[in-house]
Amino acid sequence: MTTAAPAAEATALLSLAGMHSLMTDAQRAGQTCPWCNETTGESGIDLGERHLPDMGTIHPVACRSCVASRAREDYAAHCRTCVRCHYREECAPRLLLRRLALETRR
């Protein structure tokens, strides 16, 4: 049984802030996970192209466990800082991050 790839909108929300200058060429090219540096292969999850002013374009691909972990962390941070979510209104980024965390948890 194959699982559907997570929504590109959700993976694009995952933060790589501060990591770009520390990433290896293999991480920038999507050959290894940007967080744990494991080879991603065909089971990797595409994080989408990221355009960086000083480095050009990178195309990171992450392993499933790191995506699940990062999605949970970013979801929790979002819920603490989003004014709309504070008042119990679920915004689109919150729903996307939650769905991504659930889809990648196994």
Q: For position 89, what pLDDT does the model report?
A: 80
Q: For position 6, what pLDDT does the model report?
A: 62
For the chain, report the end-to-end CA distance as a whole number of angstroms. 13
Q: Inform me whether the pLDDT recorded for 50 exceeds 70.
A: yes
Q: For position 45, what pLDDT does the model report?
A: 93
Q: Inform me whether the pLDDT recorded for 106 exceeds 60.
A: yes
Determine if the pTM surpasses 0.75. Answer: yes
